[in-house]
């Protein structure tokens, strides 16, 4: 393949003078002909992204060192007070802890169920397309609707799921009980996003080379052995990518909690994103919220870096 | 082996279909229940044990779309905000995505990481400075403000998606066209763009879905005149309880167009979602 420089040389030598003049005259006027068309094409996006990412990032750093209440007119410098307020705070660490539990338990369930269903769908003799189509519908449900639904289904006096649970003798206010509320919101996330894992794994399964599997079968390996020795190593990269994406999503998970439990009861569902919203908009302490936001940003950048590494590994 | 093969096969298939059926019930029951509840009477909704068979009643929908229910204004805000932000993101994302796929930028890897990182940034963290920025610019409660907010997650997503689609188009044709006298832009427009049209549609539908489903930005940035449908749904939750009939009807209205559109582009969905971090 030719490099850019080579084909622009080719272009120059082959073009009629008329065309050449037409395509460069405007740029000549501004004396910026050294820039390629590609630079102009991406420039508007870069400007917009810079406004919406660099500015907020710098602003977060600035605000994290300021005494910055939404009500006060002028923020004043207060050193590392906000950072101390955030880092030496049980609610902060407990919120991160809950986020971690959310991520580990939620992702584990999503991967186990998601991979299981993917394998089942893959083996189906008939109706694969119909099953996939129906199975993936929860992905399109707005998270706020998922939350509303969860709240409706789990209502102890008229909820369908609460009623089903009462039939087997479980009779608690699921979203109102410290012991069950976090599990319930995790399951709402699992309900919504397990199909995504299935889709990704199914795509991986369908692109698997047939030979290693057939060879294993000829060698007399049973289904489990084939799964563990052949299938899992081949789709593990796909699963890892899916996991990274989902873990970043879980960090952003707020909508459903806002609608279902508002972080309660007794903080039992207060994940880090929701805690931040509370510090910012309920307690109106932007300085502390900024410091808190930066800790979330660092976590995301770390995860994002891993994601990009995985995605670009195959390209080189 | 003692068990004949066709018996083994039947056992296996029965097992598979049982698992798949259970999974589908788990995935679909809440949605089916929501749609059913939206056409039940108030009494029917709350009757225990739950009623699965009943005569549908469309009073809730009638009320919502009446003058008093005022649902049209929420709906039109949602449509305007999500369609416009999708168009903006698609135009800029296509141009920029092509540039990323073709241009040999210095530090290209860092550039694309930066772009995708703006998409992955936790909304709760960035919503603060954006809120302050928007309120200084007087954008809170306005449609341009909402559009701008949606662009923060749609544009990086569109850039990455389009970059991926453009990378799959062989470059040789464009080079040939440029040798024949096309400008770079003409080569992009006439040669590279047509083959990625399906990808463009898929990206558009996903952008539409992200902004249509958004609640965080809409709840913080929208004002009385620009509230979207998800915000309308949240307003049904009050201190005095929840208007469940309306909540279920609103939920049905929110998910219907996205389920239809999403299923239409499901072929591209995995590619899109694994590229752009979901939601």
- The interface pTM score, or ipTM, of the predicted complex is 0.89
Check A45 against B188: CB less than 8 A apart.
Answer: no
Stretch A288-295: mean pLDDT, rounded?
92
Residue located via tokens 């894992």: A197
Q: Inform me whether the pLDDT recorded for A19 exceeds 80.
A: no
pLDDT of residue A127: 87
Say how far apart CA B119 and CA B138 lie, in whole Å: 24
Measure the CA–CA gap between B80 and A126, rounded to whole angstroms.
Answer: 42
Q: Where are the domains of chain B?
A: 5-60, 70-276
| Option in B19, B20, B185 nearest A37 (CB) | B185
Please report the pLDDT score of residue B255 as a whole number. Answer: 95
Asked whether the predicted pLDDT for residue A32 surpasses 60, the reply is no
A211 to chain B nearest CA, in Å? 22
Contact A132/B37, CB-based, under 8 Å? no
- CATH architecture observed for domain B70-276: Orthogonal Bundle (1.10)
**What are the pLDDT digits (tens) for A106-120?**
999 999 999 999 999
Q: What is the pLDDT of residues B156-188, one digit of tens each?
A: 989 988 988 888 888 888 888 888 888 888 888
Q: What's chain A's average pLDDT?
A: 82
Contacts of A178 (CB under 8 A, 6+ apart): A265, A266, A268
Torsion, Cα of A187, B260, A126, A116 (10° steps): -20
Residue B114 reports pLDDT greater than 70 = yes
Residues 70-99 of B with CB under 8 A from A: 92-93, 95-96, 98-99
Residues of chain B with pLDDT > 90, as a percent, come to 36
Going by DSSP bridges, is the β-strand pair B237-238/B241-242 parallel, antiparallel, or unpaired? antiparallel
Question: For residue A4, what pLDDT band results from cuts at 50, 70 and 90?
Answer: low
At B10-31, the pLDDT tens digits run: 888 899 999 999 999 999 999 9
Give residue-wise pLDDT tens across range A217-247.
777 777 788 788 777 887 787 788 778 878 8
Find chain B residues with C-beta within 8 A of A305's C-beta. Answer: 113
> Chain A residue with minimal CA distance to B179?
A11
Do B278 and A196 count as a contact with CB atoms less than 8 A apart? yes
- The pLDDT score that the predictor gives to residue B133 is 87
Task: Give the best-scoring range by mean pLDDT among A14-18, B87-91, B96-100.
Answer: B87-91
Q: Please list every residue in chain B whose beta carbon sits closer than 8 Å to the beta carbon of residue A151.
A: 242
Per residue in A35-82, pLDDT (tens digit) is: 678 888 889 999 999 988 888 899 899 989 988 876 666 788 888 888
- B181, A56: Cβ pair inside 8 Å? no
Tell which residue, B210, B200, B209, B215, has the closest CA to residue B263.
B209
Unique residue bearing structure tokens 């996330």:
A189
Does the global pTM surpass 0.80? yes
pLDDT above 60 for A6: no
pLDDT at position A9 is 52
CA distance B171 to chain A (A): 8
Nearest to B262 among A132, A140, A252 (CB): A140
Calculate how close chain A gets to B61, using CA atoms only, in Å.
Answer: 17
- B90, with CB counted inside 10 A (0-12, 13-18, 19+), is buried
Give phi and psi for A257, each to the nearest 5.
Answer: -65, -40
């Amino acid at each position: 393949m030719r490099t850019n420089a080579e084909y622009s040389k080719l272009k120059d030598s082959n073009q009629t003078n008329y065309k050449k003049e037409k395509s460069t005259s405007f740029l000549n006027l501004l004396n910026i002909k050294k820039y390629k068309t590609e630079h102009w094409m991406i420039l508007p996006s870069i400007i917009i992204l810079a406004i919406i990412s660099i500015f907020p990032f710098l602003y977060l750093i600035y605000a994290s060192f300021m005494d910055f209440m939404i009500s006060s007119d002028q923020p004043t410098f207060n050193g590392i007070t906000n950072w101390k307020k955030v880092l030496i705070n049980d609610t902060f660490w407990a919120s991160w802890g809950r986020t971690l539990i959310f991520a580990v338990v939620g992702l584990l369930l999503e991967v186990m169920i998601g991979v299981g269903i993917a394998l089942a769908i893959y083996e189906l003799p008939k109706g694969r397309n119909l099953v996939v189509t129906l199975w993936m519908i929860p992905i399109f449900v707005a998270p706020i609707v998922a939350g509303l639904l969860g709240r409706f289904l789990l209502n102890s006096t008229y909820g369908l799921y609460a009623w089903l649970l009462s039939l087997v003798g479980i009779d608690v206010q699921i979203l109102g009980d410290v012991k069950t509320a976090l599990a319930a919101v995790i399951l709402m996330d699992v309900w919504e996003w397990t199909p995504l894992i299935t889709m990704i794994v199914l795509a991986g399964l369908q692109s698997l080379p047939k030979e290693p599997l057939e060879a294993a079968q000829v060698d007399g390996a049973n289904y489990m052995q084939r799964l563990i020795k052949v299938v899992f190593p081949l789709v593990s990269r796909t699963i890892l990518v899916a996991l990274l994406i989902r873990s970043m999503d879980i960090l952003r998970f707020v909508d459903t909690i806002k609608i279902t439990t508002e972080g309660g009861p007794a903080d039992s569902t207060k994940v880090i994103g929701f805690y931040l919203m509370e510090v910012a908009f309920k307690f109106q302490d932007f300085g502390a919220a900024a410091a808190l936001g930066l800790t979330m940003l660092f976590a995301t950048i770390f995860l994002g870096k891993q994601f990009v590494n995985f995605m670009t590994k195959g390209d080189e | 082996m003692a068990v004949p093969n066709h018996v083994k096969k039947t056992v296996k298939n029965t097992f598979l279909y049982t698992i798949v059926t259970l999974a589908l019930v788990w995935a679909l029951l809440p949605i089916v229940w929501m749609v059913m509840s939206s056409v039940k009477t108030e009494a029917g909704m709350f009757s225990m044990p739950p009623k699965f068979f009943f005569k549908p009643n469309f009073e809730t929908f009638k009320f919502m779309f009446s003058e008093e229910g005022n649902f049209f204004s929420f709906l039109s805000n949602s449509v305007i905000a999500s369609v416009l932000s999708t168009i903006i993101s698609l135009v800029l994302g296509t141009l920029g995505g092509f540039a990323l796929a073709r241009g040999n930028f210095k530090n290209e890897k860092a550039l694309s990481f930066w772009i995708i990182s703006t998409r992955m940034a936790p909304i709760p963290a960035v919503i603060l400075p954006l809120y302050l920025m928007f309120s200084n610019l007087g954008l809170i409660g306005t449609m341009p403000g909402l559009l701008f907010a949606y662009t923060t997650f749609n544009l990086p997503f569109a850039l990455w998606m389009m970059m991926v689609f453009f990378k799959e188009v062989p470059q040789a044709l464009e080079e040939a066209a440029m040798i024949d006298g096309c400008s770079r832009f003409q080569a992009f427009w006439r040669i590279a763009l047509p083959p990625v049209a399906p990808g463009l549609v898929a990206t558009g539908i996903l952008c539409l879905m992200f902004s249509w489903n958004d609640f965080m930005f809409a709840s913080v940035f929208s004002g009385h005149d620009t509230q979207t449908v998800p915000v309308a749904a949240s307003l049904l939750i009050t201190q005095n309880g929840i208007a469940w009939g309306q909540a279920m009807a609103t939920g049905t209205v929110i998910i219907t167009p996205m389920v239809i559109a999403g299923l239409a582009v499901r072929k591209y969905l995995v590619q899109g979602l694994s590229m752009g971090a979901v939601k």
